[in-house]
């Protein structure tokens, strides 16, 4: 099987999640990705972990290792003129450049599409920034939490109508970074596809905030359509749709359609309370959730997670366990599909990583090499590709360019 993207050469100037994830999606389908990192410090993901035994080490961060497998690693200080020249030389040979430099940093080092396109008009350059390359917030500072909060999704999550004192709650991890990266990969591939016909590259400007505003479920439209503000304090119109505790863990109780509720009632052995008028349909169960919750908590509390999950699914009720990480790694379903992959890394050792988000029938998703150690491929890329001679390499090193 041929790799889908093996003809693409990608340069990544990426920190943390967004640009590295966009480039990873392409690397895992065979694109050649050369990742440029700052000499000395490298990608900030190297300092975020998780780390084995909670001991920070730049080559052992789980986040970094996951995002950067299948990439070549080169250190390059593009803020120095000699470093920028090498970047231009690399970009001249590339199809795509993906970066997530903060716009004021782009200005400072002089990175712009027009400048790179002068030497390579076929180049597709994708800029992933918190708020996009234009507009009054272009230069605003941002971190994962503030971008997530700017996107209209964070405000929806929290303790619910009975706990107005609790603030909105971010979800775990780096969802803003991942969503920006995934949307950027889509837009980048769109530009690459267009280039097959036009022969011309272009600049793609991705706004992290906008990728989140674009996925506000039905909630955003409550303002333009009904002049209703949606927040974490809204009541769920339909019930049950809640996580509940079993004897050995948590399960998500989910009955959206009436037939699902009827099947659940039968699964519970048709208790008399379930036939009360106040629980007669999904809207009434929403209105009277506080009463329903008492009955359900009692019954669910006596069950075990996997047994209730299986029994519900046998009756076409879409319950799901509240999976712990251990549950995911132990899942017979995921094992049978071969989701997790084991990767051996020269410094970090061997462990399991999340695998392919999509299984392709004709083109493989595969791990060809582990994430690079800092500057691992300087010789191979700068020497081998650009013909930088050993004496100049030493000079660049002493100036801190590489």
Partner 1 sequence: MADGPLSGVRIADFTWVWAGPYCTLQLAHMGADVIRIETATRPCVTRMLPPWPEGKPAGLDSSGYYNQYNQGKRSLALNFSKPGALDLAKRLVAKSDVVANNFAHGVMDRLGLGYEELKKIKPDIIMISLSGYGDTGPYKDYVAYGPAQVPLCGLSALTGYIGGPPMHAGYSYADPNAGVHGAFAILAALYHRELTGEGQYMDMSQWECAMAVLPEGIMEYTMNGREPQRIGNRDPYMAPHGIFRCMDRAEKVMGVTVDQFVAIAVSDDAAWRRLAAAIGRPGLGNDPKFATLAARKANEDELESIIEAWSVNQRAPEVARILQEAGVAAFVVADNKYLSEEDEHLKARDYFVNLPHPVVGVKQHCGIPWKMSATPVKVRCAAPTLGQHTNEVLSEVLGLSEAEIATLRASGALE
Report yes or no: 340 and 329 within 8 Å, Cβ to Cβ: yes
State the minimum distance, in angstroms, from the CB of residue 62 to partner 1.
3
Residue 85 sits at φ, ψ, to 5 deg, of -60, -40
Nearest by Cα to 295 from 314, 268, 277: 268
State the minimum distance, in angstroms, from the CB of residue 166 to partner 1.
6
Q: Which is nearer to partner 1, 228 or 394 (CB)?
A: 228
Q: Which is nearer to partner 1, 128 or 382 (CB)?
A: 128
Q: Which is nearer to partner 1, 214 or 270 (CB)?
A: 214
State the minimum distance, in angstroms, from the CB of residue 222 to partner 1.
5
State the minimum distance, in angstroms, from the CB of residue 98 to partner 1.
12
Q: Which is nearer to partner 1, 363 or 373 (CB)?
A: 363
Q: Compute the distance between CA of residue 366 and CA of residue 11 in angstroms, rounded to an integer.
A: 19
Q: Which is nearer to partner 1, 51 or 72 (CB)?
A: 51
Report yes or no: 233 and 160 within 8 Å, Cβ to Cβ: yes
Q: Which is nearer to partner 1, 73 or 158 (CB)?
A: 158
Q: How far is CA 170 from CA 147, 154, 166, 213, 218, in A?
A: 11, 6, 12, 15, 19
**Cα dihedral angle (384, 385, 390, 396), rounded to 10 degrees?**
-140
Tokens representing residue 236 in the block: 């769920």
- CA angle 395–45–330, rounded 5-degree value: 135
State the minimum distance, in angstroms, from the CB of residue 382 to partner 1.
29
Provide the angle, in degrees to the nearest 10, between the axes of the packed helices 305-314 and 258-267.
130
Q: Compute the distance between CA of residue 395 and CA of residue 402 in angstroms, rounded to an integer.
A: 9
State the minimum distance, in angstroms, from the CB of residue 345 to partner 1.
11
Nearest by Cα to 372 from 343, 401, 336: 343
State the minimum distance, in angstroms, from the CB of residue 260 to partner 1.
9
Q: Which is nearer to partner 1, 109 or 213 (CB)?
A: 213
State the minimum distance, in angstroms, from the CB of residue 348 to partner 1.
8
Cβ atoms within 10 Å of 282's Cβ, excluding its own: 19
Q: Which is nearer to partner 1, 269 or 361 (CB)?
A: 361
Contacts of residue 362, Cβ cutoff 8 Å, sequence gap at least 6: 1
């Amino acid at each position: 099987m041929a790799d889908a993207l093996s003809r693409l050469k990608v340069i990544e100037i990426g920190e943390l999640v967004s640009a590295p994830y966009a480039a990873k999606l392409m690397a895992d389908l065979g694109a050649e990705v050369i990742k440029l990192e700052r000499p000395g410090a490298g990608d900030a993901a190297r300092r975020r972990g998780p780390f084995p035994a909670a001991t920070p080490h730049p080559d052992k961060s789980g986040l970094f290792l996951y995002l950067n497998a299948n990439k070549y690693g080169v250190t390059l200080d593009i803020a120095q003129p000699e470093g920028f020249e090498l970047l231009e030389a690399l970009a001249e040979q590339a199809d795509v450049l993906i970066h997530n430099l903060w716009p004021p940093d782009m200005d400072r080092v002089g990175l712009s599409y027009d400048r790179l396109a002068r030497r390579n008009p076929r180049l597709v350059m994708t800029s992933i920034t918190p708020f996009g390359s234009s507009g009054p917030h272009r230069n605003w500072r941002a971190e994962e939490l503030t971008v997530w909060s700017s996107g209209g999704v964070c405000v929806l999550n929290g303790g619910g109508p009975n706990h107005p004192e609790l603030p909105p709650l971010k979800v775990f991890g780096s969802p803003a970074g991942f969503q920006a990266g995934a949307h950027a990969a889509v837009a980048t591939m769109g530009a690459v596809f267009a280039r097959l016909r036009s022969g011309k590259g272009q600049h793609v400007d991705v706004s992290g905030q906008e990728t989140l505003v674009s996925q506000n479920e039905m909630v955003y439209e409550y303002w333009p359509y009904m002049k209703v503000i949606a927040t974490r304090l809204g009541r769920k119109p339909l019930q049950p749709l809640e996580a509940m505790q079993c004897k050995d863990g948590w399960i998500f109780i989910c009955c959206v359609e009436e037939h699902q509720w009827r099947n659940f009632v039968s699964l519970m052995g048709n208790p008399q309370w379930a036939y009360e008028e106040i629980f007669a349909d999904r809207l009434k169960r929403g209105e009277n959730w506080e009463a329903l919750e008492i009955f359900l908590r009692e019954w669910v509390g006596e069950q075990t997670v996997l047994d209730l999950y299986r029994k519900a699914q046998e009756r076409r009720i879409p319950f799901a366990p509240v999976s712990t990480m251990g549950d995911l790694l132990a899942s017979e379903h995921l094992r049978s599909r071969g989701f997790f992959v084991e990767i051996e890394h020269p410094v970090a050792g061997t462990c399991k990583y999340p695998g392919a988000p999509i299984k392709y029938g004709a083109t493989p998703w595969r791990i060809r090499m582990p994430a690079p150690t800092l500057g691992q491929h300087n010789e191979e890329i700068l020497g081998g590709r650009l013909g930088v001679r050993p004496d100049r390499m030493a000079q660049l090193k002493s100036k801190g360019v590489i």
